[in-house]
Structure 1
Amino acid sequence: MKSPFAAQYPSMPPATETLLSRSHEQLQTALNAGLIATWFWDVIQDKLLGDSNLLRIFGVSQEAGANGLPLSTFTDSIHPDDNPRVQRLIDEAMETGAIYEADYRVIAPDTEPRWVFARGRFSYDEQKKPITFSGVLVDVTDRKRAELRSQSAERRLRLAVESAKMGTWDFNPLTGELIWSDRTKELFGLSPEARVDYDLFLRGLHPDDRERTDQAVQRAFQPGESGRYDVEYRTIGLEDGQLRWIQANGQAFFNEAGVAYQFMGTVMDITLNKQAEAVLKQRVSEQTRALEYQAHQLRTVLDASLNSIIAMTAIRDGAGTIVDFTMNTANEAVIKSNFMTPDQIIGQTLLTVFPGNKDNGFFDLYVRVINTGQPEQSVQYYRDEFGLEGWFEISAVKQGEDGVVVTYNNITDRKRAELAAAQHEAELKEANAELKRSNENLQQFAQVASHDLQEPLRRIQAFSDILQNQFIDNLSDGEMDMVRRIQKSAQRMQMLIKDLLTYSQLATQPDSYGPVSLTDVLTDVLSDLEMVITEKNAVVDTAPLPSVLGSAPRLRQLFQNLIANALKFTLPDQSPVIQITAHSAQPNEFPLHFQDYAQQPFWMITVNDNGLGFEEKYKDRIFVPFQRLHNPASYGGTGIGLAICQRVAESHGGTIDVSSEPGNGSTFKVFLPVINPV
């Protein structure tokens, strides 16, 4: 085989050529083993000779490359992204004589792209013209791929760190050198230009976290430990004073002697998480307190309930049939009403403690409630072997999958009361019948009073008038006095019969009710009493009065009697002053016997006078017929007027009250319902 040096050095002696050829073969063998290729380019003839490694890398066969190929054959196989740069570097090396170095990708047919590193140099003739270009080329594909993977991993790590807004740190425990990323400095409130060391790191920690964090770092440096570092701490910005919560993670690395030589890791701002955690913790605490309060309130309500309440869970046999109930919860009413302790009921089975439920049907009702989900109620008589006996009213509601809540009351007393009420109702019916008969008798009396009793009076009055008018000259003074007394007694008797008739009619004769203006009623009454008011020189001060639902004639009787009394019972040498007003009644203004109606809307009409007055201890007597507090000889009347007032007020759904003081007048208060209260 012809030596590759024969063409370049034609005058070389054979022995020297053989030696060089042998050395070339040995070098080529070594280069092949190291994936190193060589090339030789005759610039003038543009022929490039390469060893087998070079031809393989560029995808050139041994036959095609045996006599050399143009440089472009090889440069055309360079990756398009790398080709311009490689061509430029070759041109620069040719022009300057400097060493040529380049790394690039080779794309050969039927092979994967390869990364190579080339190094070579040009040789020149005496005129400084390039004549040869030789060098070596190394296949660095594996190293380059590893480098690219490392760079990719580093970029991904950097991207992840940046995305998570994490900072990094690297500390050399042997030299004390500490390196922080800009983000780490930011989390300690420092500018990117700030210099850092371990003492500065400790100063940047919250005083309450400083010792604990330093101990965690020192533990990571201990031989035999894992070197892991995982801690949360607070920082107070050294320049901005801002408080931040930090999550730090790191790893210490040890040499063969077990000494930590590197400590590196990351830091992340978890301030928002901590704030959210604090808010969540507070809400959980508040909700827990609220639930505890609600549970306490519920328990309080249950225990305060007069009803007995038991929560139970069904007990089923192997076939799924409900055979009993476990009593889980019972309120105080259950405990007290059965004279038991809680452990005698809670946790026990229903039929063990209350076996009577099976016989009286309550048990079957509970089973239906669980099976159908529909609540039920029942009233049954209960009796068991332990002596519990009586009437019970129960209601049952399903709770959850297999539970039931039972509310029950012992209504034995109520049952007895119902029997007594039934008996009372019968007696009341009999009393009403008797009252009806009495009213009929009273009505008959009224008819007699209106006709039969008044007829003799009219005769007496007629005869006394004849004696007084026709025989006055023939009568002595004594006889005339007797005639006047007869007339006066007849007039009093007629007035009494008239008032009795009015009083009885209020009880026996219904009247039609409708809206009545009390202002109009009062106007009519004052018109009727105009002469008396003028004679007495009285002052009557009235305010606008409301309208009520009632009977105008009866209400006229009420006001006429009240005002007539105020005009009658006056102090000597004092003109009567009467004030009539109205306003919405307040609860504290109702009389004691009428307090049950204090929550309903009523008008209070007051008739106030400056007359005689009376001791209030006698106020109940003045509304009783024929009861008089003042001398009948001095003050006329039958003693029925105020009784009529009371009956009129009561027949309208109201009442009447009075307050008085001797010598300071009286105030009558009439309470009447408001029409259609809103």
Structure 2
Amino acid sequence: MEFLATLFHYAPTPMAVFQGEDRRIQLANPAWCQYWNVRVAPVEGLLLTDVLTAGQAALYTQLLDSVGVAGPSETTRTITVTVERDGELEERYLRVVTTLTPSLSPVCVGTIITDITETVQAQQRADRLAREQEVHRWMMREALDNSPVAIVVAGSVRDERTAELIDFEYRLANRETNRLSSLPEGEELVGRRMLSTFPGDIDSGVFDQFKAVVETGEPLAIETHYQHGSIDKWFYIRVVKHSDGFVQTTLDITPVKEAEAAIEQQADLLRSILDNSQTAISLHNAIRDPVTRQVIDFKTVLANKRARESWGDRVEQYMNQTLLTLRPEVAGTPEFNRYVQVVDSGEPAQFDHGFGSRMYSINVARAGDGIVLSSVDITRDRQYQRELEQINAELRRSNEGLQAFAYIASHDLQEPLRKITAFSSILTSQYADQLDASGQMIITRMQLAAERMSALIRDLLAYARIGNQHTSFSAVDLTQLVRDLLDDMEITIQTAGATVKVEPLPQLWGDSVQLRQLMQNLLSNALKFKRDDRPPVVQISSEQIPVSQLPATLLASVRATPAYWLIHVADNGIGVSPEYYERIFEVFQRLHGRNQYSGTGIGLAIVRKVAEQHGGLVVVKSEPNVGSTFSIYLPVIE
């Protein structure tokens, strides 16, 4: 017995025995007292609440009560406790074995504590690492699939008898690869072979180049033109060996090639324009003193045909000698000083200069560390001016005629659309029994297309009218305008289950029809782009702000008015991400497909145009899945 008492006393594991219903401490070894930071000695005969904190005592009592005559005689539980270590509290994980000894009288309950904090924390770290690795794998896949570069990994396919490399099989391909491959929707490149998927790689020599990479280990970087079937593209391809295969990155450079061709075409066009221009244009680089860095001369580096013709027999001298070598008398003159000032300040200059019996207008602009000279013969300037004014008048008349024609043509497009709708309705009602499901579906799609076209034409006409019509503005009661609008939209609002709250709104100086279009489009959008999990709520309010609080984009064109009205239309709909704030105001810009939300993509463009017509601005602030607030700045009535 003495041996067991000694073992109990010196055991490094915290152990204690409790007796009676009130769980008084009968035995507790030093390890138990040290673990719980018990400073009372001796502890025998004391209650748990005498030596432990209230929270620790309550937890310990629960452990002691977990065994009993009616229940198990021994339990093992893992608990989390807060203990004091070196004057600081820390969280520890314990495995506590609680044992009932009913044979003793009174009944005793013993506990043995094993601190498993390090084990639990190690497991938590392992779990966290596993989660992080899973996230990293997900991020890598997302990075691959969202990369604008096509990335593919392929393995070699070899002849079983000769081991000759005869094809490649794709084992990994990101989303961009599948897109560039022009495969049917739902099909992927993985598992396919190169030569059956891209037979054009044989004739183009691409397969032989890839084969050489695998067999020699030398990487490959090429620009190649791939043309097969409906595919006609330029690609920049980089290939490196990977095991018995390769990793290929492909960038579609078709737009770059097309841009290069366009740039070259534009360069040719520009050279042609410059050489056929009646303006003499030349480029001159500045020559600077190596010590003071001041401009001391100019060297001609480029000249168009007109400039070369004006130089006559001295063209070779002008192109190969400096200005002051050819014309030393120019040094120190106002002409030369103007050239230097343009280079140093960057501010262009213009002056008239006479040569013989003719007068020229000289324009000087900085280009790099030099100047561009443009000289125009202005002797017949007045005659040219009259001709130009006549041409401008004809252009204005032509533009006005074109606008009128476009309006009439767009307006007349509605009539054939109405006939399409009417005839399709006749087919549906009178010949339904003669049409199968496919025929009825075609008619339905035709009707929907006609309706979309009709809506598009109406919206385009509304958009065109805003910019072309010269309206006479008047005072508009915006509160009454919104009330009338809500009456007209009553059924739409009820169908959406929406609540529209309208605070007092100001009187504005403007066109009532346009302002109604503005408010109707904003309110329609708020009802259309609603969330499925809650009914839409729209709040329309206003406030007056000083000019100093206007957005910077509006300050440049601000009217002479002391204040502006700021009208808010807020909703609790699906919201818009910040990167689309500008895009939604552009014509035909849609963030969702027609299957999700109807419309033509013109509504917000009309809102912006109406605001601008009234000397104002519209901006949006939004949070996805929370809602959007459209803010319209309009001048206060003067």
TM-score w.r.t. structure 1 length? 0.37
Task: Report which of the two structures shows the higher radius of gyration computed on alpha carbons.
Answer: 1
